[in-house]
Amino acid sequence: MGKPEKKKGKGGTILLVLLLLVVGVVAAGYFKPDLPVIGPLVAGFFKKGAEGVDQSGVYKVKVMKVALDPQEFKDGEKIDLQVYVKRVDAEGKEHKVWDSEQWGERIGTVGQVELTAQWSDRPFECTWQPGDKLVVEVWDRRGGDTKVAEWTSDPEGKEFPLKGVRTVSPFKGGKTVESRKGATNQVVFEAERIGDYPAAQ
């Protein structure tokens, strides 16, 4: 009697099915991060992977919108909203990055219009690496220079800070204070990496 024929391809088929299943789960979690269990797991995996990537470099940044809570000001007061951005390196040295004042006034009257401004058509370049702090200051230049809000990035952060929505804190008495409950005090950024971090001279 001849030897019974071996079944061929069964192991390969099972492996292919498992591979397709894994790919499908990863894709579902990536494109739908709100999926229960799968979404957070996949998002966490990709986040950990991104943390290992050096994001130092030169970025092109746009200030898409600045919005402040009108309750922080007197009704009828005229405000000239301006944004000043500076970088503080690991040695504590300050470097001016950008000042919106060069592009003219952004005046609004409290109680009559929303206190907003934008410079989406005035991109600027920002050099950054982990260890740097980026400080975003919102000023009222009307009649005199008064800093009205501020936000500072975490120097331990691994991702470029000037992206998305950043909540700024009102600045009073020489320090930041908590915003009123339900208040909107924020700066919205868009940024893209356009070059490597300059080599040390």
pLDDT tens-digit profile of 17-53?
677 776 665 565 556 666 665 656 555 555 545 455 7
pLDDT value at residue 16: 74
Domain 57-195 classification at class level = mainly beta
Q: Say which residue, 185 or 29, is predicted with more confidence.
A: 185
Cα 61 → chain centroid: 10
Q: Round to whole Å and give the CA distance between 69 and 182.
A: 9
- Which parts of 48-115 are beta strand (E)? 57-67, 78-88, 94-99, 107-109
Answer whether residue 2 shows pLDDT above 60: no
Residue 103 confidence class, pLDDT cut points 50, 70, 90 = very high
Locate tokens 């952004």: which residue? 106
Sorting pLDDT into bands at 50, 70 and 90, what band is 201?
Answer: very low
- Taking the C-alpha atoms of residue 85 and residue 99, their distance in angstroms, rounded to an integer, is 6
The reported pTM is 0.72
Give the pLDDT score at 183.
82
For CATH 2.60.40.150, the residue range(s) in the chain are: 57-195
At 118, give phi and psi (nearest 5°).
-155, 155
Query: Which range, of 20-24, 42-46, 153-157, 164-168, averages the lowest pLDDT?
Result: 42-46
For 131: left if phi > 0, alpha if psi spans -120 to 50, otherwise beta; the answer is left
| Type of residue at 35 | L
Instruction: Name the β-bridge partners of 65.
Output: 188
pLDDT computed for residue 13 by the predictor: 79
Kindly report the backbone phi and psi dihedral angles of residue 18, in degrees, each rounded to the nearest multiple of 5, phi listed first.
-65, -40
Sign of CA dihedral 147, 99, 160, 30: positive
Closest CA to 58 of 189, 195, 176: 195
Mean pLDDT score, 82-89? 98
